[in-house]
Amino acid sequence: MNRYDILKEIAKEKSKGASVVDYVMGIGLCAVTLDDGRTGVSYTDRKSIPWGCSLYDELPKTGVDVEEFIKLFDSSDVLLNALGTSAINACVNDENYENGDVMEAVNLSKDDVMGMVGYFDPMVSGIKRQLKTLYIFEKERTLTTWPQKALPPEEIPNVLPECSVLLISATTVMNKSFDDILKYAKTDRIILLGPSTPMVPKAFPEVKVFGGTTVSPASLKTIAHGGGTRNLYREKVGKKVILIN
C-alpha cells in the first residue's frame, strides 16, 4: 500500500460516518465541511482549470458520505482533486495541534542550504536572511526576478542532493509528485507546508515538520469570496498549525 492509499484509509477510519454538508471551489482554495462541523481546506491550482463557463455537467452532491469525496483525491481534474484533498483534511486534521509558524520550529543556520519546492512568496525574503543558499523550484516562476528567480523542476535531481533542509509544498501530495522529489533528498530535515497539508506522520514518515492550516465552517464564505490563506488568518476562520514528527 503506497502512502496515498494509507492516507485515504486513515481518512476513512477517522471519518466516523460523517457526510458532506457543504463545499466550495474558490479561486484560491477549496474547502469541504462535514455534518459534525469538521472542515478541511486545500489549494486551488487555478492555472490548470480548463476554460469554459460550465466545467461540469453535474456538480458533486452534498449529503453524501464523506468517503464519496475522499475518492476524488485520485481524480485528474484539479478541482475535484482539491475537493478530495479537502475532504481528507477535514477527517484527519482534527487534533489539537500547536499553533504557530512552521519556520519557528526549524532551526536554520547560515550553514544551511534549503531547497524550496513550490514558491512561498511571503516567506522567501525572511528565509534567505537565515541561510547560506536558497534554491526555489517552480515551473511557473522561472521568469520571476524578485525576491528570487526560481529554477525549473528539471533541476531538482541536480540540486536537491546538496540541500540540508527541504521545504516541500503540499501540492506535491495532491499531484502525487512527492515521492519523485523525495528520492533526491539527502537530508532528514524535511518540511511539508501549505494549506493542503495532511498532518499524518503515518503516511509521511519522512516529514519532520508539518505546517498546515485548520479551518472552521465559516471559512467557506471567505473562500467563496475569493480569499486565500492570509484572508483566512486575518478573518480568524483559519489558523496556522504545526506538528513535529
pLDDT tens figures, 7-36 = 999 999 999 899 999 999 999 999 999 999
Does the pLDDT of residue 140 top 70, yes or no? yes
Mean pLDDT in residue range 149-166: 96
Mean pLDDT in residue range 81-96: 96
The pLDDT of residue 89 is 98
Does the pLDDT of residue 53 top 80, yes or no? no
Comparing 47 with 48, the larger pLDDT belongs to 47
The pLDDT of residue 52 is 67
Q: What is the mean pLDDT of the chain?
A: 94
Confidence of residue 148 (pLDDT cuts 50, 70, 90): confident
The pLDDT of residue 100 is 74
Does the pLDDT of residue 159 top 80, yes or no? yes
C-alpha dihedral sign at 197, 173, 82, 203: negative
The pLDDT of residue 141 is 84
**CA–CA separation, 51 vs 150, rounded Å?**
27
pTM comes to 0.94
Helix (H, G, I), strand (E, B) or coil at 103: helix
The pLDDT of residue 46 is 80
The pLDDT of residue 158 is 96
Cis peptide before 147 (omega within 30 of 0): yes
Mean pLDDT in residue range 198-227: 97
For residue 241, give the DSSP letter.
E
Does the pLDDT of residue 51 top 80, yes or no? no
CA distance to 61, 149, 233, per residue, from 113 (Å): 46, 16, 30
Q: Where are the alpha helices (DSSP H) in the chain?
A: 3-14, 66-70, 78-92, 121-128, 156-159, 171-174, 178-182, 219-224, 229-234
